[in-house]
Structure 1
Amino acid sequence: MASFRKLWPTAIAAYCLVVSTLVASASAPSLVVDADSGQVLYQDAATAPWYPASLTKLMTVYVALSAVREGRITLDTPLMVSARAAVMPPSKMGFRPGTLVTLDNALKMLMVKSPNDVAVTIAEGVSGSVEAFADDMNVYGARLGLHESHFVNPNGLPDDRHMSSARDMAIIARALLHDFPEERGLFSIGVLAFGNQLINNHNGLLGRYPGVDGMKTGYTCAAGYNIVASADRNGRHLITVVMGAPSNGTRNEKVAALFDRFFAGAQANYGTLDSLPSSSANTPPNMRDTMCGRGRRAAIAEAEGEDLVPTPGAAPDQGVGSHLSPTRVAFEPVRVTIGPVAGWTGRIAQAVGSGAKEIAAPVKTATTDAVGTPVGPSPVSGQTGTAGGAIEAAAPAPMALLGAAPLAPAALAAKRFVHATPSLGLRVGGRRAGKTKFATEEAKPKAQAVANASATETTPPERPKHKGDATRKTAVFKTKPAKPVKAVKATKPATKQAHETAKKKTAAKH
């Protein structure tokens, strides 16, 4: 009986974990769509609003590649890391403010490591600010015909206003594959080589399920484990979306099982992505208590914003009953670097502000986009907006550019650029950025002049010398008065010699 009482709490905890896992798995939205035809082969709550977490970065890539196609930026354009980007929570690359990274390298990092600081750097370089880039995401989302999505940041960090759905994520995935076929390799990079580091892709299906060629994973406490997976087998290309899975292993196994089912020839027709019935829910469920509640406290610190966190107590996926291999094939690392490309003489894209010039955007009409190109229906959705009409939202903001000459790599290594106000209290190198660092190199002379003026006001002036008075000296101002010196009595001889002299004088008188 005593041993039973000792085991009872453990049994209860295990039971609660199993129940919560089953509930989370049952409520997880999922969808399978033919990437070429757009026919929906399977769906379960695919239109329910959900927190996308790092799946958001697929839309970030779509907006960035659209800016390249429209000529507003190039893949070789260096982006400058801002102080705002540098303080993003993990997952992150950890670049210091002022670091330069090309858009091409930034996109590769984004798809493999999923760094939140790089997502902000891309947003600021393309549109001038995170807020302007979020507006662009929503504009392009309307063009693609997204239904449940609303974006407020480029990385998917928790925000109650930031949401999407399995259907919308499938629409974005199809748009990336069809609108930018030359960039498909971006989503299938298995390993990055950065310096002496090897960074593995978080997608647990790459190199483990035959035919998988992308695309993106995502995780937060509120969202659970999300994934958009693309696979090409037997002449058929499928996209599978799973959101809100209770663990990394469960997520991978569910996707593999769905791929197996429909690659084997299963037939189902739920219509097109646009024809799926809308959900009655208006807000996404918050899975924080299930994912990071009692008994899972160890995951909370890293879970918010971390793209992939091992679930405590969860068994690794073994691919039982599917083509999912328990081991991953070896990938040839793709090298990424920081700094501009050799010989770069173009401009540097960065956040608007701190002296950067914002280039005026062309006026957008109902028939032209931000660069005057006619706006037609998307080759994927066949729509130009949520209702099939012209986009009435603001035109995408222009790229923010600074200077015409790039900084030398040696100067970049030593420079620590900080753009922050004292009220932010950002810390760089253990000091408050707003109080101890200059926003730009140009600000240093001005700040030094202010410091000199302040010193002049607080230091006592020298007394002027009179004409012809070469011996007059400037008064010395002391902080403490000198101690008085005691007078020495003259009645006693100071030395033995003086005493003998006085004695002889007295003898001579007598």
Structure 2
Amino acid sequence: MTTMKKLTRLGAFAALLATTLALPAQATPSLVIDVASGAVLSQDQPTASWYPASLTKLMTAYVALDAVRAGRITMDTPLMMSPRAARMAPSKMGFRPGSEVTLQNALIMLMVKSANDIAVAIAEGVSGSVEAFADEMNRASQKLGMTQSVWVNPNGLPDTRQVTSARDLALLGRALYVQFPEYANLWNIGAMQFGRQIHPTHNGLLGRYPGADGMKTGFTCPAGFNVVASASHGNQRLIAVVLGAPSAAARTAKAAALLDRGFQTAGSAGSLGSLAAAGPAPAPDMRDSVCRNRGPATAEFMSEVEDVSIPIGSASTGIPLLDSAAAQQRISAKDLARLPRPHYDPVPVYAGRAPGYVGPVARARAPGAPIGEQTDYSAYANAPEPAGGEASPISRAAPDAVSMRQAKRAAKRAAKRIAPVATPAPVDNIIEDDKAASGDEKPEKPKAKSAAKPVVKAAPKAASKAVSKPRGEKAAAKPAPAKTQTAAKPQVKIQ
């Protein structure tokens, strides 16, 4: 009987295995376009609905740069971190509520570190709230012709409502290059330095694939490994979009192969307009295939884990390196993705205001309120979060990470006009991600030294104790203490 049971189980397993092997491998959406003409050079499921993950931050940058162009905000405008921003899940900078960072530095942190807290700070600084910013994201999408995208947050943390497609992301990437050419350097920063810490880019193509010059990667377990990648060869610039790759190495290798074939393609396979689809649709969940073996410690909203040690399979395609020195050299896609991380001179960033800045601070505010209006942070910290589905990122982002005491301290700091910061903030201003998520890290009170504070010696106190008061007598009126002349406190004037 035992033998028969084993044979039955083995037969069932063999049938299941045969069925599984007979199924076609799930193809991931991809697209390659020419930036100058918008021509489609290759495509595979370009209109399939997909979770964008941190590719969302390209749309966040687009809306922010559009606000700069409209004169609503400047690149030097300080953004103030709110408790809501500080509650975001990693990847993050970990700034405390009440901290300030310029929009210029925030955009660099957004592109290199892929900081989710910075994305919320940008949204609140530009539009006043995450919800108002999401409305702007959706209006910008419609204006660009992105028919399959819906945005509900600025960072791409999982929300089943937030979807896009390879076609829409190619449209967005092209718009960033065409409409904002003066900010093209934002998309190809190899590393940034904050204090004594250097944060390298997650884009595995930069420094590895010749001509690679942008743009952004993204990862969550439901989305898989995504990338919008650009590269230039001669006078031609291409954008490749890869969604749902099983690993960072596979993402890099596939994007490189697509770009290489695109540069060798003559003519086009259509236009982005011809690929337009009816509208957004539910996206597949890649969690089981991408994060099944990553262990219970892997949070489903974690982002930007660049692990090129994950195998990408034995099949590989020869990729010619498109530089003049090694035009005929070929390297496998697998080896290209595993090349050592290139060295970059990091771009310095800092927390605080730009030296000499005298304008308003952009922060969370009431709808329609102008930039610079004060916000009651203690009340804001207790405000109900917007309603969302079970995958709402707000409900997954450690709601107790910022206490009321921290919010009140932030409110006091916000009420005082902080002097302009002329030097980068020290590394001590960074909160470790794990500490920020647990709420263990508490803001430190600044230790300010008062100028010429009068010293009260112990001798007079001892003398007063030595004189005993006769019992039954009324105490004599205490003499008024002598006024001690102190040095005038220096006044910080913001000119």
TM (norm. structure 2) is 0.69
SS at match of 1:340: coil
SS at match of 1:31: strand
Q: Residue 110 in 1 paired to residue 110 in 2?
A: yes
Correspondences of 1:297-336 after superposition (within 5 Å):
297-298=295-296, 300-301=298-299, 303-310=300-307, 313-314=310-311, 321-322=318-319, 323=321, 325=336, 326-336=339-349
Question: What's 1:67 paired with?
Answer: 67
Q: For the Cα contact (< 8 Å) 2:102–2:351, is it kept in 1?
A: yes
SS at match of 1:300: coil
Q: For the Cα contact (< 8 Å) 1:81–1:121, is it kept in 2?
A: yes
Q: Residue 234 in 1 paired to residue 205 in 2?
A: no
**How far apart are the structure 2 equivalents of 1:135 and 1:334?**
32
SS at match of 2:254: helix
Q: Residue 283 in 1 paired to residue 257 in 2?
A: no
Cα deviation digits, residues 266-310 of structure 1 (max 9, x gap): 2353311011152798211111111123x3325622x51312253
Correspondences of 1:16-31 after superposition (within 5 Å):
26-31=26-31
Distance 1:268 1:244, change over 3 A: farther
Correspondences of 1:471-510 after superposition (within 5 Å):
none
Q: For the Cα contact (< 8 Å) 1:249–1:317, is it kept in 2?
A: no
Q: 2:373 aligns with which of 399, 402, 406?
A: 402
**How far apart are the structure 1 equivalents of 2:414 and 2:102?**
26
Correspondences of 1:16-95 after superposition (within 5 Å):
26-95=26-95
Question: What's 2:260 paired with?
Answer: 260
Question: What's 2:249 paired with?
Answer: 249
- The count of corresponding residues between Structure 1 and Structure 2 is 375
**How far apart are the structure 2 equivalents of 1:285 and 1:184?**
32
- Structure 1 stretches (4+) deviating beyond 3 angstroms? 315-320, 416-419, 422-428, 434-439, 470-473
Q: Percent identity, aligned pairs only?
A: 49
Q: For the Cα contact (< 8 Å) 1:98–1:418, is it kept in 2?
A: no
Cα shift at 1:196 = 0.3
Q: For the Cα contact (< 8 Å) 1:187–1:214, is it kept in 2?
A: yes
Correspondences of 1:91-170 after superposition (within 5 Å):
91-170=91-170
Q: For the Cα contact (< 8 Å) 1:97–1:417, is it kept in 2?
A: no
| Structure 2: stretches of 5+ with no match in the other structure | 1-5, 322-332, 386-398, 416-471, 476-495
**How far apart are the structure 1 equivalents of 2:175 and 2:143?**
11
**How far apart are the structure 2 equivalents of 1:214 and 1:68?**
21
Flag the structure with larger Rg: 1
Q: For the Cα contact (< 8 Å) 1:422–1:434, is it kept in 2?
A: no
Q: For the Cα contact (< 8 Å) 1:131–1:152, is it kept in 2?
A: yes
Question: What's 2:481 paired with?
Answer: none
SS at match of 2:238: strand
Question: What's 1:273 paired with?
Answer: 272
Q: 1:420 aligns with which of 342, 357, 381?
A: 381
Cα deviation digits, residues 306-338 of structure 1 (max 9, x gap): 122538853599986223642343211110001
* Paired AA for residue 338 in structure 1: A
Distance 1:215 1:434, change over 3 A: same
Distance 1:225 1:40, change over 3 A: same
Distance 1:277 1:174, change over 3 A: closer
Cα deviation digits, residues 422-451 of structure 1 (max 9, x gap): 9896344xxx3269835623999xxxxxxx
RMSD: 3.4
Q: For the Cα contact (< 8 Å) 2:378–2:407, is it kept in 1?
A: no
**How far apart are the structure 2 equivalents of 1:427 and 1:238?**
42
Distance 1:435 1:318, change over 3 A: same
Cα deviation digits, residues 230-281 of structure 1 (max 9, x gap): 00003211100000111111111111111111212x2353311011152798
Q: For the Cα contact (< 8 Å) 2:228–2:240, is it kept in 1?
A: yes
Cα shift at 1:135 = 0.3
Q: For the Cα contact (< 8 Å) 1:221–1:287, is it kept in 2?
A: yes
Correspondences of 1:465-476 after superposition (within 5 Å):
none
Cα shift at 1:75 = 0.1
